Amino acid sequence: MSILINSDTRLAVAGITGREGSFHTLNNRAYGTNVVGGINPKKAGENVEGIPVFANWADCVAETQANTAMIFVPPPFAAASALEAAAAGVAVVIIITEGIPAHDELKLYNQVKRDYPGTTIIGPNCPGILSPGEANVGIIPASFFKPGNVGVVSRSGTLTYQIGNELAQKGFGNSSIVGIGGDPVPGSSFIDIIELFENDPQTELIVMSGEIGGSAEEEAAEYVKNHVTKPVVAYIAGFTAPEGKQMGHAGAIVSGSAGTAKAKAEALEAAGIRVGRTPTQTAEIAMEILGAPVA
């Protein structure tokens, strides 16, 4: 088992005809993901290496029964495309696009919650999801990861690879790796993903990788304390970040005393979650808890 995407995933991609969109779509297909269609209103009827292109999400879903969407279109159009996918009945919508206005994300989140509660949004500004051995949707370099019992959820893409790689070098594989993105209003939060890992029989340990800004890590700490039986290990980036400076991600900013790495680490530790001080140490804690993996 894995979470959110697996061998039953039927993926369609908005922005499939773009340079990045086509590159990563074909990468995902080469990994074994079942890519059934793409969207581009101006190129309906064409195909990308055999993947049919549709004018809109409704046509695509009717024709291909796509159940998973990947959004690669530019920021001004990305939220609208994600909403259209949800309206067409797609169950999991993964938004890779970086740079979407926060208000667009805010309206998207609230509208999907109200009108299409059956749809899960992942991202925006995220690397996607990898369920090793089953499916890859997004830009995670899959060759570094193999199937296993560690679930990873992270706000940062490259930091996910770093921690995933540290785990891989110690012999661990992953049930799923989920990037929830570094924006102020992510479609899914740590809690949503941790809940899925808690209910996933393959996952025996959960690694969460957070960063400065907002209070999602503190909320996750509270949730884990009250609802999660599996061990959770955390890492937080941004201890040296100065106040008031946005550290790359739109959501990564310390404002006043709120959102500091120190406060987050303390909240997690108070909830009984061990926090690694470096990515390497985070992987070492995971190994201490699970024991060395059986080769």
Partner 1 sequence: MDLLEYQGKQLFGKHGLAVSDGKAVTTVEDAVAAANEIGYPVVVKAQVLIGGRGKAGGVKLAANEEEAREHATNILGLDIKGHITRTIWIEHASDIDTEYYASVLLDRSAKKPLVMFSIEGGIEIETVAEETPEKLIKYHVDPLVGLTKEEAIKIATDGKAAADVIDGVADALVALYEVWIEEDASLAEINPLIITPDRQVKALDAKVTLDGNAAFRHPDHADLGDKANADPIEVKAAEQGVVYVKLDGNIGILGNGAGLVMSTLDVVAQHGGEPANFLDAGGGSDAAKVKQAVELILSNDSVTAVLFNIFGGITRCDEVANGLIAAFGDLKPTVPFVVRLDGTNDVLGREILEKAALPNVHAAKTMDEAAEQVVALAKGN
Which residue, 51 or 212, has its beta carbon nearer to partner 1? Answer: 212
In the complex, minimum distance from the CB of residue 136 to partner 1, in angstroms, rounded to a whole number? 12
Task: Please answer whether residues 121 and 175 qualify as being in contact, where contact means their C-beta atoms are separated by less than 8 angstroms.
Answer: no
Neighbours of 106 (CB within 10 A): 13
92 binds partner 1 (CB under 8 A): no
The pattern of x and - marking residues 174 through 203 that bind partner 1 according to CB under 8 A reads --------x-xx------------------
Beta carbon of residue 63, minimum distance to partner 1 (angstroms, whole number)? 30
C-alpha distances (whole Å) from 19 to each of 14, 51, 52, 90, 192 are 12, 15, 17, 24, 32
The residue among 139 and 193 lying less far from partner 1, judged by its C-beta, is 139
Beta-ladder partners of 208: 153, 234
Compare residues 216 and 268 and give the one whose CB is closer to partner 1. Answer: 216
Q: Is 165 in the site for partner 1 (CB under 8 A)?
A: yes
Number of residues forming the site for partner 1 (CB under 8 A): 61
State the nearest-atom distance from the C-beta of 110 to partner 1, in Å.
5
Whether 98 and 123 have beta carbons less than 8 Å apart is answered as no
* 239 touching partner 1, by CB under 8 A: yes
Binding residues for partner 1, per CB under 8 A?
Answer: 20, 75-76, 99-104, 106-107, 109-111, 114, 127, 139-141, 144, 154-162, 165, 182, 184-185, 209, 211-212, 214-216, 219, 235, 237-242, 245-252, 256, 261, 277-280
